[in-house]
């Protein structure tokens, strides 16, 4: 039996399929998902599961280097914004306009994980990273690039 927290086969497969720079979106129940290939629909009913629950679960098994939310999250859903900032401690949370988020991330995402959340501006884009300590682990001849030195 699997030891990790994630039991959903499609979510496990998606995380394993992510490469450096790929985008995974965790979204609210109303987020437009362009293709069925991107969709990992975990919504069961209103607010089940929550975005916070899915974020914590995904972060338990996903290495990221960038987190993007819309400015509206901070303005209109401060509890969720504060949760994202606290949970995503590997890097600062970046904000873009709502229009930019909606014009970019549904199409840029390799996978989109749909929650049951009825939450204004409840969408988070996570950009996949290299797990620097594993990649640059003092093997003979390996040199750590400056961009990764603080992560190793």
The residue extents of the domains of the chain are 19-132+139-149
Please state whether 113 falls in left (phi above 0), alpha (psi between -120 and 50) or beta.
Answer: beta
The reported pTM is 0.93
Four-point Cα dihedral 95, 54, 133, 20, nearest 10: -60
The phi and psi torsions of 105 (rounded to 5 degrees) equal -75, -30
The residues annotated as belonging to the active site are 20
CATH code of domain 19-132+139-149: 3.40.1650.10
Q: Assess contact for 133 and 66: CB atoms under 8 A.
A: no
Provide the pairing of β-strand 64-70 with 23-27.
unpaired
Give per-residue pLDDT as tens, 19-55.
999 999 999 999 999 999 999 999 999 999 999 999 9
């Amino acid at each position: 039996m699997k030891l990790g927290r994630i039991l959903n086969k499609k979510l496990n497969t998606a995380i394993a399929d992510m490469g450096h720079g790929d985008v995974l979106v965790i979204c609210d129940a109303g987020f437009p998902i362009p293709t069925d290939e991107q969709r990992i629909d975990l919504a069961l009913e209103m607010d089940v599961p929550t975005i916070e629950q899915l974020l914590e679960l995904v972060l338990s098994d996903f290495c990221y280097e960038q987190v993007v939310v819309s400015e509206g999250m901070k303005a209109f859903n401060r509890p969720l914004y504060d949760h994202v900032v606290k949970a995503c401690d590997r890097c600062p949370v970046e904000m873009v306009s709502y229009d930019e988020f909606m014009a970019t991330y549904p199409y840029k995402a390799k996978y989109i994980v749909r929650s049951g959340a009825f939450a204004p501006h409840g969408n988070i884009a996570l950009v996949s990273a290299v797990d620097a300590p594993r990649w640059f682990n003092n093997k003979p001849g390996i040199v750590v690039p400056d961009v990764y030195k603080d992560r190793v």
